[in-house]
Amino acid sequence: MVSANRLENYEVEQEEQAPRDKFNIVYYLVILVGFGVLLPWNMFITIAPEYYVNYWFKPSGKETWFSKEFMGALTIASQLPNVSINVFNLFLIIAGPLIYRVFAPVCFNIINLTIILILAIVLEPSESLMTGFFWVTLGMATSINFSNGLYENSVYGVFADFPHIYIGALLIGNNICGLLITLVKIGVTLIMNDNPRLVAIVYFCISLAILVVCAIALLFITKQNFYHYYHQKGIEVREKAETEKPSPSILWQTFKSCYGQLFNVWFCFAVTLTIFPVMTTATTRGKHGFLDRVLPENKELYTLLTSFLVFNLFATIGSIIASKIHWPTPKYLKFAIVGRAILIPIFFFCNYRADDRIFPVFFESTDVFVFAGIVMSLSHGYLSALAMGYTPSEAPSHYSRFAAQLSVCTLMVGLLTGGLWAVVIENLVDRPDQI
């Protein structure tokens, strides 16, 4: 007998006991699948400051409209299609196994990433190509994130039928992916410091290899009895409750059962994406702090260490902690998440766009910037994992898959909201003659 400890749950008879996840193989493979969820986004934002902004769009080191607008435009081009396909996917019914719903978008992104790699190999920056390359790159980001939105929404829906630690495994994979991509970028930058084009080519090759490994992991998961047991159990629960096909009324009932956690997911990601990466990558070295004296002079390494490494390392730590500690409880989680909004003005008054801003800088030291980054990243990894994990458990078992998909849709809306807020702040801080 299989049942969950929630109201209105439907019990489904099983002829056999649930198979064990031997050696936690499926758990670790799900972490690997989580790599693929955010790899396209992490890939773009990590390489963007060096390769796109400074190498392609700053000829002779001179600021251009393209270099100034690229990070904000990339955020919108990535998150708007993600939101759109996530909303559409709530009502999309594709028959067949996991390979149609999850594996196909991964294959499509392998093709997209191959095209990006070819562009890096054959094209060199020039003013005549700058406009076209700007829009082609944003077009590729849009294409990748349409596909990735389908993948992400579906994969969270699939693993919502599994024990709750498997949703946590996806989130851990998300954050480890960002950390791994950052370490790869730091490594290739140190080795090939004077050749940003070669850095990009090696970086894209490694990213492509990681995505291929994620596809193999997905295939391997579908061969496991453990996967088939929980996948079939979820189908039977929804069939018995007559909720196997999503409809507006079912989604509305699901929303009503977990709207508090959906708000937590939305606001947590909105605050984070307001700050990272648009604000953090535009924050320059400070003065008088300990880190100002010990961090490398190289601008690219400085950004990688203080922005990307700090965020991805501590977000990963936060998500791992959340797999062990579940506090605050669902009822009080909103207070911690809303309280994070104070981080936005803190970053605003660091050395954010120091050369263009009309507002004073209150926190000149890089020590303050990095400490705030650690707090922001650790709290994001921890609180977002709690909110995403709490959401399916707030809904009845026959709505859990829809709750998980709603949480991913809400996550994407939060990312888009944060991207829009970041663009507003970016224009707010500039001198009138710079807008």
CA-to-CA dists, residue 226 to 16, 163, 173, 191, 214, angstroms: 12, 11, 20, 43, 19
Under the banding of pLDDT at 50, 70 and 90, the label for residue 340 is very high
pLDDT number for residue 5: 38
pLDDT number for residue 355: 84
pLDDT number for residue 346: 97
Structural domain of residue 345, as residue ranges?
A: 22-434
84's tokens: 């759109």
Tens-digit pLDDT profile for residues 278-327 = 999 999 998 888 998 899 888 889 999 999 999 999 999 999 999 889 99
Tens-digit pLDDT profile for residues 267-276 = 999 999 999 9
In a domain, 4, yes or no: no
In a domain, 13, yes or no: no
In a domain, 5, yes or no: no
Weakest mean pLDDT among 9-13, 225-229, 375-379, 386-390:
9-13
CB 368 within 8 A of CB 349: no
In a domain, 16, yes or no: no
Under the banding of pLDDT at 50, 70 and 90, the label for residue 243 is low
**What CATH number does residue 270 fall under?**
1.20.1250
- The count of domains in the chain is 1
CB 387 within 8 A of CB 326: no
In a domain, 65, yes or no: yes
pLDDT number for residue 94: 45
Whole-number mean pLDDT of the chain? Answer: 86
> In the predicted model, is pLDDT for residue 120 greater than 70?
yes
Residue 43 neighbours by CB under 8 Å, 6+ apart: 113, 181, 203, 204, 207
CB 162 within 8 A of CB 98: no
pLDDT number for residue 218: 85
Q: At what angle do helices 248-275 and 366-394 cross, to 10 degrees?
A: 170
> In the predicted model, is pLDDT for residue 432 greater than 80?
no
Q: Other C-beta atoms within 10 Å of 288: how many?
A: 10
- Distance in angstroms (rounded) separating the CA atoms of residues 355 and 163: 51
pLDDT number for residue 16: 58
> In the predicted model, is pLDDT for residue 91 greater than 80?
no
pLDDT number for residue 409: 87
Tens-digit pLDDT profile for residues 11-43 = 444 445 778 898 999 999 999 988 887 787 788
Query: What share of the chain in percent tops pLDDT 90?
Result: 42
In a domain, 263, yes or no: yes
Tens-digit pLDDT profile for residues 47-82 = 999 899 999 999 888 889 999 889 889 988 888 888
In a domain, 397, yes or no: yes
In a domain, 205, yes or no: yes
Tens-digit pLDDT profile for residues 161-188 = 888 788 888 888 988 888 988 998 898 8
